[in-house]
């Protein structure tokens, strides 16, 4: 009769008792305090920059008025009760709820995964800051103020730009990480 085959005991790390095998390394991807501070600072700066520019435009230009800057670029005071391209303009309440859910999801994701990639505080800081600023306008005014007008594209604001740039950074980081 043959003896049963012995299983090989492979130890990747060591446990506190130095006897228990550790089969895989564990590392927390939760956001650190510094990452939270970075995200908060960038999101706050985005909100302030967007709100200040919207205030300046609304205070100095009547609705529909514009100021030609150069070429096709105008500063034009426009109100948008919808989202990108004026979509869902009659569903402001739904847009408010969905934006709030998206912001909460991004914060939850960052809490769990903020240390996963060094650009997450930057990318999500821009997206969250832009989203919070537009959400504040929708809740307070029922619309957002758009003012960057290139004539061939619907008018937009800094918050929209921050969201697009943040998503672009996030996608670029994911694509580059996938290449490795």
Span 157-179, mean pLDDT? 91
14 falls within a domain: no
| Catalytic annotation, pick one of 50, 137, 146, 149 | 146
- Boundaries of domain holding 153: 29-179
In tens, the pLDDT along 89-127 reads 777 888 899 999 999 999 999 998 877 788 999 999 999
Query: Is 5 a member of any domain?
Result: no
Mean pLDDT on 65-79: 95
Residue 24 or residue 57, greater confidence: 57
45-58 average pLDDT score: 98
Query: Given this model, what pLDDT does residue 45 score?
Result: 98
Task: Mark whether 137 is an active-site residue.
Answer: no
Residue 38 forms part of a structural domain? yes
**Could you tell me if residue 22 is inside a domain?**
no
For position 93, what pLDDT does the model report? Answer: 86
The number of folded domains in the chain is 1
Is 149 assigned a catalytic role? no
Reply yes or no on whether the pLDDT at 19 is more than 80: no
Residue 143, SS3 per DSSP: coil
- Residue 8: helix, strand or coil by DSSP? coil
- Whether 63 maps to a domain, the answer reads yes
Statement: residue 17 has pLDDT above 80: no
Torsion of CA 64, 99, 125, 105, to 10 degrees: -170
> What pLDDT does 23 receive?
56
Catalytic residue among 50, 137, 149, 160: 160
Is 37 within a domain?
yes
* Residue 33 resides in a domain: yes
Segment 121-149, tens digit of pLDDT = 999 999 999 999 999 999 999 999 999 99
Rounded to 10 deg, the angle between the 158-179 and 120-141 helix axes is: 150
pTM, 2 dp:
0.80
Helix, strand, coil fractions of the chain, as percent rounded to 5: 55, 15, 35
């Amino acid at each position: 009769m043959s003896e049963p085959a012995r299983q090989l005991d492979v130890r990747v790390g060591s446990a506190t008792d130095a006897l228990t095998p550790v089969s895989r390394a564990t590392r927390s991807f939760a956001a650190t305090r510094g990452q939270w501070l970075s995200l908060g600072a960038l999101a706050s700066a985005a909100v302030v920059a967007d709100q200040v520019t919207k205030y300046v435009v609304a205070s100095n230009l009547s609705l529909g008025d514009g100021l030609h800057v150069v070429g096709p670029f105008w500063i034009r005071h426009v109100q948008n009760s919808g989202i990108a391209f004026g979509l869902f303009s009659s569903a402001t309440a739904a847009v408010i709820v969905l934006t709030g859910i998206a912001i909460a999801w991004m914060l939850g994701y960052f809490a769990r995964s903020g240390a996963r990639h060094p650009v997450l505080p930057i990318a999500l800081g821009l997206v969250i800051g832009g989203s919070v600023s537009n959400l504040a306008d929708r809740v307070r005014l029922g619309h957002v103020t758009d003012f960057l007008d290139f004539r061939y594209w619907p008018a937009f604001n800094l918050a929209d730009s921050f969201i697009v740039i943040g998503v672009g950074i996030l996608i670029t980081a994911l694509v580059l990480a996938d290449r490795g």
